[in-house]
Structures are given as C-alpha cells and as structure tokens.
Structure 1
C-alpha cells in the first residue's frame, strides 16, 4: 500500500483563507458601485505652455518647454570643486601642456593617451575627430584636465570638475 500524506492543519487553514478571500473579494456589504460609466480624463499628450495663460485642455499635460530644454542640458555642466582641489589641478596643467606641445603633429588619440600615461594620469578619454584630439583626464586627487590638441599650434589644457554625465570629456550630440 502507498503512503498518503496529509497537510498539517495550520497550512490547510491558511490555504482555505486565501482562496476564500480571493473568491469573496474586497467588497463591503451595503455599498453602491459608482454609476459613472466613463473614467476621469487623463492627459494623452504633452502640451507646452505658451504665454502666460495656462491651457485648459483636459487631455493635455502642461509643461514648460524652455525649462525642459534647460534641464536637458544639465548633463554638460561640470561639478563644482573646492579651491584646494582647483589648486591641486593647476599643478598638473604646466607639465601636461608642455608634454602635449612636444608631440609630433598631427597627433592622434593614442599619442595623447600615451602622453598622459607618462605623466601617471591613466584615466584618459579622447575624441579624435580628424581635426585634432579632444581629451578629458581624471586626476587622482579629484577633478579633471580637459582640452584640445589641434593639428597645428599649442594645446589647450583647462581644469574643472567632472561633467554631470560622468567622466571628464563632454561628448557632442549626446
């Protein structure tokens, strides 16, 4: 003969309670269902505010287009740095500019990265668009060196915080 297994009583009661609550639902006796046949209108489109008068369209979600565009550009902003951090960054500018200006032109992204690695700055981002190399370098003490190595002429090296999007090199069209 096979063994039969019985569920413990507490488990059986719990299952029964769950099933009954699902069947009965959450209705409270004596309440009347809503007689409204249409749901409350919800916005179906975004409508920019124009002028000083708000729009009264019920299917329109209001927004300020100018403020939305300004907020969309915040990823390009650089984080604020303390004066002490900026002073530490300034100590890197001279050696970086000297090393970049000594590159044989036209320099490419690999040349720029190798230059910063030789200065013990290893977190380098570059963008070689064919007209020169843009770069962003994370400095271990905090902050960034960023700038441009043109096909001819001196390199530019600036200091500042990382961009809100992360990293030191702002990407165009992003």
Structure 2
C-alpha cells in the first residue's frame, strides 16, 4: 500500500475513532439517559495536511501517522524475562532443538507440538504451518517462551524470550 494511501486511511480511522469516542461507561450499571449526538463544534477534527505538513486551524488535532503506525506495532514486542525465567527456558532450549531436528521432513504442526511435549512443554504450544515450514511458540510453566521456525529442509531456528504483548508466544502472521 502506498505511503500516501496509508496515511489517508490512518487519518480516516483516527477521525472515526475520535468521532465514535463520545460515549462513556458508567460503573455498576447502564445509563438510561439519552446520549446527545456530537455536534461539529464539539468534535475534534484531524488537521488537514498540505504537502505532508499539517495545516493547523482552530479546533483541529495534529496526528502523526508514523507515530501512530509505530504504536500499532507495539503488540509484537516481547516482555522482559527475569533471570529465573531465562534460566528455566535455557534448560529446555537444547532438548527442544534436538527434538525438533529429529522430526521427519517436512515437519508438520502436529509433529512440532509432539516434539515440545516430548521435552515436557505441553500446556501452550502454538504453531503456524504456512506451507513453507512451521513457526512455533511454546510457553514455559514459569513464564517466557521458546519460539522459532522449522524449515522444510529440517533446519531449526529456536530462541528464548518473553511472551508478546498481546499474550502468547507466537504473533499472528500478517499483522
């Protein structure tokens, strides 16, 4: 998607979000009072951009689309590991690598889950078999993840780290 189109879509989404954020929750119950429709004079508007520079006018809100896109990617970041979590994960690293490397080629998602089960990681194993290999994320009982990829030729790439901000060990493809 072109940069200008992406910025225009982002501006449209922000305007829609700002316009739709006029309601509020009432703790402990539901309000029966009618909700007044927003008026143009009370709804903030995103400032127009002229040649990539915001044309600031009264009542408009300057939005940085690049900063908004960067904030949208925060879910991919991994949480920090404690030293205890890192040590615990490292105890699984080589046994898991060996179990994954021993799989027949091409590995299947079910075989990857079984390989983690053979080393004692059975509770939360996520996989994504996209036809080019199997991505995986396996949660440790003490926190943190083993994650990586088993290629069609059997090559294994495996790392340790915290869970992603969205939860779990494997981010969804295409996000």
Q: TM-score, normalised by structure 2?
A: 0.69
Partner of 1:151: 152
Q: Does 1:108 align with 2:114?
A: no
Q: 2:99, 2:118 within 8 Å by CA — same for their partners in 1?
A: no
Mapping for residues 8-157 of structure 1, pairs under 5 Å: 41-43=41-43, 45-47=45-47, 50-51=52-53, 55-56=56-57, 58=59, 60-122=60-122, 123-157=124-158
Tell me the SS of whatever aligns to 1:63. Answer: coil
Tell me the SS of whatever aligns to 2:172. Answer: coil
Instruction: Detail structure 1 runs of 4+ shifted over 6 Å in the superposition.
Output: none
> What CA deviation, in whole Å up to 9, does each residue of 1:48-97 have, x standing for no partner?
7754x661153x33211121111100000000112231122111110000
- In the alignment, the residues of structure 1 paired with residue 42 and residue 169 of structure 2 have an alpha-carbon distance, to the nearest angstrom, of 42
RMSD, aligned CA = 2.1
Q: TM-score, normalised by structure 1?
A: 0.70
Q: Report deviation, 1:162.
A: 0.3
Q: 1:44 to 1:90 in 2, by over 3 A?
A: same
Tell me the SS of whatever aligns to 2:105. Answer: coil
Q: 2:107, 2:154 within 8 Å by CA — same for their partners in 1?
A: no
Q: 2:145, 2:169 within 8 Å by CA — same for their partners in 1?
A: yes
Q: 1:48, 1:64 within 8 Å by CA — same for their partners in 2?
A: no
Tell me the SS of whatever aligns to 1:158. Answer: strand
Segments of 5+ residues of structure 2 without an aligned counterpart are: 1-38
For the pair shown, the structure with the greater C-alpha radius of gyration is 1
Q: 1:43, 1:61 within 8 Å by CA — same for their partners in 2?
A: no
Segments of 5+ residues of structure 1 without an aligned counterpart are: 1-38
| Count, aligned residues | 134
